[in-house]
Structure 1
Amino acid sequence: MALSREEREQFLAEPHIAALAVDAEGGRAPLTVPIWYQYEAGGDAWIMTGLDSRKNKLIQAAGRFSLLVDRLEPTIRYVSVEGPVVETAPGTIELLREMSARYLPAEKVDGYVDFAWKNHGEQVVVRMRPERWVSSDLGQV
């Protein structure tokens, strides 16, 4: 059963690991990789990735990407959202901290942020405006 707008936005706002997919070059299948993301109901979804990463280069070339999040319990539920890139901006330590706090226990955030900021290279934030949604809860009757 498809989720209502409120249900799908609430589900996407939870801290799931997303599968990001973006069109690839040269007749290859889409690049699909796991990624942390941030989303608040009614807003844009955003990711942080390396400026020089293949992922960022493909996103910039395609001008859009999709995210798929799912869970298995208590029922199988998923939300897929796709849309255009509406902004690309330099990553900041504050945004890295926000993203890290979404996924890591509080006591691990500072250590991870320090390590990532020093070792992961220049980062960018890519914002996507959700345009097309596909969702379902396969356990609802």
Structure 2
Amino acid sequence: MTKQQREEFLADLHVGVLSVAGPAGQAPTSVPTFYAYEPGGDITMFTGTQRRAPQRIERIKEAGVITLVAQREAMPPAYVTVEAELVDVGPPTPEQMLVILRRYMPEEHAQGFVQGELGDPENTVLLLTFRPTRWFSSDTSAD
């Protein structure tokens, strides 16, 4: 793919697979994730601190890098893999969360999801911002 094609592909609607390096001697952790990206910009996603997310966030902070894969589910196969460096971690605004969620669900569901995440006193939501540094891609329809 050209630079423009891979950036447009990543900006399209895909559930990403986020991979974070594991501790020495352990495999990386990979999880599906919602994300937002505009060509030429940064990748944003958010996570709450329930379940295993605190460990994953600490690994991201320690490593400073992640890998994100977006793929076409239908034939012919295509994918974009991005290595990206962490540039910011902090609490999101509801609007920052909605920018991501509106890509994946209807407005009323997105609003309810944000209220549920931000309204849970047991959950701390963090917005993660990454800058792409290295790209790999393939589109078999172009062969």
TM-score scaled by length of structure 1: 0.90
SS at match of 1:139: helix
Distance 1:21 1:115 in 2: 26
The answer to whether structure 1 residue 73 and structure 2 residue 91 are counterparts is no
Asked if the contact 1:50–1:56 (Cα under 8 Å) also holds between the matched residues in 2, the reply is no
Cα deviation code 1:14-46 (max 9, x no counterpart): 121000011111411011111111111001111
Distance 1:56 1:92 in 2: 18
Query: What are structure 2's unaligned runs of at least 5 residues?
Result: none
Distance 2:80 2:142 in 1: 15
> What residue number does 1:44 align with?
42
Distance 1:11 1:4 in 2: 10
Q: 1:128, CA displacement in angstroms?
A: 1.0
TM-score scaled by length of structure 2: 0.89
> What residue number does 2:133 align with?
131
Q: Which amino acid aligns with 2:134?
A: R
Asked if the contact 1:83–1:131 (Cα under 8 Å) also holds between the matched residues in 2, the reply is yes
Q: CA RMSD in A?
A: 1.6
Number of residue pairs the alignment of both structures matches: 139
The worse-fitting range, judged by mean Cα deviation, of 64-73 and 116-125 is 116-125
Cα deviation code 1:52-98 (max 9, x no counterpart): 62221110010110100001324211000002111112122221222
Query: What are structure 1's unaligned runs of at least 5 residues?
Result: none
Distance 1:57 1:35 in 2: 17
SS at match of 1:53: helix
Asked if the contact 1:91–1:122 (Cα under 8 Å) also holds between the matched residues in 2, the reply is no
> What residue number does 2:17 align with?
19
Q: Percent identity?
A: 34
Q: Which amino acid aligns with 2:20?
A: V
Q: 1:47, CA displacement in angstroms?
A: 1.3
> What residue number does 1:112 align with?
113
